[in-house]
Amino acid sequence: MAIEVVPLTETDIPGVIEVIQQAFADDPYFKWVFDGPKFNKQRNYDSLAARCHWGIRNAMFQVAKEQDAILGVSCWLAPQPTSTPESWYSWVQGWSLSFNQLVNNIRYLGRGGLRANRYWIWKARQTEAQSQIWDDPLGYYFCNMVAVSPAAQGKGVGRMLFEAVTRKADEEGRKCYLESSKNVPNVQIYERMGFHMSMEMECRDGEDACMLYCMVRNPKTTE
Ligand SMILES: CC(C)(COP(=O)(O)OP(=O)(O)OC[C@H]1O[C@@H](n2cnc3c(N)ncnc32)[C@H](O)[C@@H]1OP(=O)(O)O)[C@@H](O)C(=O)NCCC(=O)NCCS
C-alpha cells in the first residue's frame, strides 16, 4: 500500500499524538525538560492536541499515512520575511494557543511534569541562536517538529515528510532551518536531506545540560 503525505485533519490527531509520544520517549531534550516521575501522559496528550488544533490553522502540519495508519508527522512554520510584520491573525492565534495551555494547567493543577524554568531557558537560547543564524530576509521554513513511529523509522518516511516542504523551499529559493535534539543519528539523517550544521546550542540548568544542533538547508537550484 502506498504511503501518502497529506495535511493533518482533526481525525488524525489521536494517531499523530501516539506517534509523537512514542518517537520522543527517549529524546534527550524531552528527558531534560520533563521531570520523569512527574510526567503526566494525558496532560501531555491534551497539550499536544491543542498544538495540533493550532497547527491545522497556522502551520504546515503534515502526516504520512498508509491507509488509515499514521506513520509519521511533521510541523513546519512558514517563512516570515523580515519586511513583513506578523499578522494580527497569527498573533491572536498564538495567544489563543497560550490560553488553551493555561486552561490545561488549571485542569491538571500543573504542567504535568514540564520544568517551566528549563522550557524558558530553551526559548531564550533558541531566540539567541535564530538571531545569529537567520540572516536571510526571505525568512526560513522552520521545522518545529518531526517524528516517525519507531516501527516505521529508517524506511524513507522521514524523507517523504521533509521533501513535502524542501521541494517547495527549493522552488521559492528559500532556506530551511531545524534544531535537532539528537546528534547521533539525527544530524547525519538531516545531512542526507541537505542540511548542514550551523551552531551547537547548549541549554544549561545548573549541572544538567542539553545540546541542540541548529542546522540550515540552502535551496537547491535546478540550473
Ligand atoms: C529523525 C527521523 C524523523 C527520520 O525519519 P526516518 O523515517 O527514520 O528517516 P528516513 O528513513 O527517511 O531516512 C532519511 C535518510 O537518512 C538516512 N538514515 C536513516 N536512518 C539513519 C541512521 N540511523 N543513521 C544514518 N543515516 C540514517 C537514510 O538512509 C536516508 O538517506 P537516503 O534517503 O539518502 O538513503 C526519525 O528517525 C524519528 O522520528 N526519530 C525519532 C524522533 C526524533 O528524533 N525526531 C526529531 C527530533 S529533532
**In terms of residue numbers, what domain contains 103?**
3-117+136-174
- Closest Cα to residue 128, out of 204, 34, 21, 193? 204
| Residue 182 near ligand 1, beta carbon < 6 Å | yes
Better-scored residue on pLDDT, 106 or 161 = 161
The answer to whether residue 147 is domain-embedded is yes
Q: Kindly report, residue by residue over 44-75, the tens digit of the pLDDT.
A: 999 999 999 999 999 999 999 999 899 999 99
Task: Decide whether any atom of ligand 1 lies within 6 Å of the 57 Cβ.
Answer: no
Ligand 1 centroid–CA 181 distance in Å is 13
Ligand 1 center from residue 93 Cα (angstroms):
32
Please indicate, yes or no, if residue 89 is contained in any of the structural domains. yes
Pocket probe for ligand 1: among 20, 144, 153, the residue whose CB has the most ligand atoms within 8 Å is 153
- Nearest to 94, CA basis, from 44, 59, 126: 59
Q: Is residue 57 part of a domain?
A: yes
Query: Residue 101 — very low, low, confident or very high, per pLDDT cuts 50/70/90?
Result: confident
Rounded to the nearest angstrom, the distance between the alpha carbon of 48 and the centre of ligand 1 is 22
> Count of domains in the chain?
1
Reported as a single tens digit per residue, the pLDDT across 166-200 is: 999 999 999 999 999 999 999 999 999 999 999 99
Give dist(CA 129, CA 118) in Å, integer.
Answer: 16
Residue 93 lies in a domain: yes
In a domain, 193, yes or no: no
Q: Is residue 8 situated within a structural domain?
A: yes
Q: How far is the CA of 153 from the centre of ligand 1 (A)?
A: 6
CA angle (213 as vertex; 207, 216 as ends), nearest 5 = 160
Give pLDDT tens digits for 15-30: 999 999 999 999 999 9
Domain containing residue 152: CATH number: 3.40.630.30
Grade residue 223 by pLDDT with cuts at 50, 70 and 90: low
